[in-house]
């Protein structure tokens, strides 16, 4: 089967995504409602950064790596964005509350892992072209920008493709928040906290990876 030819991390993420889709399918069938129907679509979008990251891994030109990394950064917030779907969680009479908790958490966790793994691939590639400190600085900045991207998606309802369709409006919204920071404390709170969560999670998963490799080599 094709899935057997995938790398172990991607194969695991495929299986985890399949589990998520099964949970939503079961909910649709048993409740006969469209509750949380947006989750599968959000998870499909969460795969885009990983697909871009794998493409970056295959590049040998620093120019192509830089350009693809910019595109990756544009879509990267779609992966961790799913954690904000927890805001939709509330008891419903059509299905046990614990099931919806598990459903949304499964999607949020899968999306988050897709994003973090894609970041690890991009970071590894940047390490080949730039000093380690610079590659880490790039990753730190990417996480902070992703935090702002999550804010734009959740609270201003902008999508990644709006960077092409409505760039001036996004720039205007951003400029207004830079000029009047005290009027937009939510913007800075969401951006900084989400950015910090992303970078710290990146560090944790990175430490797991290197710790496992060292143990294997010994």
pLDDT at 1: 46
With residues binned 3-state (H G I as helix, E B as strand, rest as coil), the percentages for the chain, rounded to 5, are: 85, 0, 15
Average pLDDT estimate for 141-167: 93
Q: Which pLDDT band, with edges at 50, 70 and 90, does 208 fall under?
A: confident
Q: Strand, helix or coil at 131?
A: coil
Q: What percent of the chain has pLDDT over 90?
A: 83
Question: How would you label 129-163 residue by residue, b for 16+ Cβ within 10 Å and e otherwise?
Answer: eeeeeebbebbbebbbbbbbbbbbbbeeebebeee
pLDDT at 3: 53
> Is residue 217 pLDDT above 80, yes or no?
no
* Number of domains observed in the structure of the chain: 1
Contact (Cβ atoms closer than 8 angstroms) between residue 104 and residue 85: yes
pTM of the predicted protein model: 0.91
The boundaries of the domain holding residue 139 are: 2-217
Of 14-23, 42-51, 82-91, the poorest mean pLDDT is in 82-91
What are the tens digits of pLDDT across the range 70-98? Answer: 999 999 999 999 999 999 999 988 899 99
DSSP 8-state code for residue 6: S
């Amino acid at each position: 089967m094709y899935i057997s030819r995938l790398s172990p991390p991607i194969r695991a993420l495929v299986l985890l995504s399949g589990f998520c889709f099964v949970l939503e399918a079961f909910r649709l069938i048993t409740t006969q409602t469209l509750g949380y129907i947006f989750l599968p679509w959000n998870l499909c979008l969460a795969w885009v950064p990983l697909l871009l990251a794998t493409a970056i891994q295959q590049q040998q030109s620093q120019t192509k790596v830089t350009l693809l990394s910019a595109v990756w950064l544009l879509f990267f917030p779609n992966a961790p964005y799913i954690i904000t779907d927890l805001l939709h969680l509330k008891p419903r009479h059509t299905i046990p509350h614990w099931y919806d908790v598990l459903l949304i958490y499964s999607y949020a966790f899968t999306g988050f892992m897709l994003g973090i793994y894609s970041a690890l691939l991009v970071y590894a590639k940047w390490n080949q072209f730039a000093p380690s400190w610079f590659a880490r600085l790039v990753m730190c900045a990417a996480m902070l920008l992703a935090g702002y991207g999550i804010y734009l998606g959740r609270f201003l309802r902008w999508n990644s493709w709006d960077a092409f369709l409505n760039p001036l409006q996004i720039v205007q919204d951003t400029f207004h928040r830079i000029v009047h920071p005290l009027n937009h404390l939510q913007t800075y709170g969401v951006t900084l906290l989400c950015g910090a969560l992303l970078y710290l999670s990146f560090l944790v998963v990175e430490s797991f990876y290197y710790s496992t490799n060292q143990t294997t080599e010994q």
